[in-house]
Amino acid sequence: MSYILLVDGDRTYRTVLQTALQNLGYRVEMAQSVREMAVVLGAEPLDVPGLIILDWFLPDGGAREAIRWLRATRIAAPILVLAAAEAFERVRSQAEQTGETVVLSKSGPLKRVQRTVAHLLKAPTNSSFPLQLDGNLVRRLAPPYPATPLTSSQADLLQVLLEQPPGQFVSAVVLASRLIIYTYGTESARARLVAKRVSRLRVRLAPLGVLIESQRGQGYRLTLVPLVRGDV
């Protein structure tokens, strides 16, 4: 079973959260800095975490720098960022610009963290995604994808789109709810974040002949372009 890597400079909070997650049956490894995080990840390169929890402020850097390093080293685990209550709004605003992380306040209830962790860990990020629309064409999206693998948030978005009946749209409200896109803020703000994620996924899927169609008032759906023999 993949583990959770918890990176937080606050020893007390780190220990409390570790215990709360271990009580749910998760294996939790801990680090207190970006440097220690790199050591943990490098110690067992084949034992990759299923989730990384980052404090936004770390003794030797910030979560943004840590996230850039993680993505540069091709570690695509989902990321949960925790922020102190007094900095939460500012941190959420900065993190939303990446569109790749979930942000929670450290002053919130541990049960919220537990629920979010359970959601982030349940969606597969390396499995194949069978895609069938209107019975006309079956495509299988499986790693390795062109250029680089999908990020965890892109895989989650694709999974939700694939679950819809052929031809059916799924609204931005439903997508935001399924992807746990910041329960704080307005509905229009969450819709904009969904649109950003859809835009990034469109770029990744277009070379495969898989398109994400959008329609005002209805949402998004997957469509396929016809393939000629020999296309992959």
Q: What is the C-alpha separation between 157 and 160, in angstroms, rounded?
A: 5
> Beta strands of the chain (E only): which ranges?
4-7, 28-31, 51-55, 57-58, 61-62, 79-83, 101-105, 129-133, 137-141, 210-215, 219-224
List the single range of 45-49, 107-111, 208-212, 225-229 with lowest mean pLDDT: 225-229
pTM (two decimals)? 0.55
| pLDDT level of residue 100 (50, 70, 90 thresholds) | low
Domain ranges of the chain: 4-122, 129-224
Q: What is the CATH number of domain 4-122?
A: 3.40.50.2300
Select the more confidently predicted residue: 110 or 140: 110
The predicted structure's pLDDT at residue 18 = 93
What are 21-46's pLDDT values in tens digits? 998 899 999 999 988 998 888 877 66
Query: Does CATH number 3.40.50.150 belong to domain 129-224?
Result: no
What are 65-84's pLDDT values in tens digits? 788 788 777 787 888 888 88
Mean per-residue pLDDT of the chain:
76
Percent of the chain, pLDDT > 70? Answer: 75
The predicted structure's pLDDT at residue 53 = 94
The predicted structure's pLDDT at residue 150 = 65
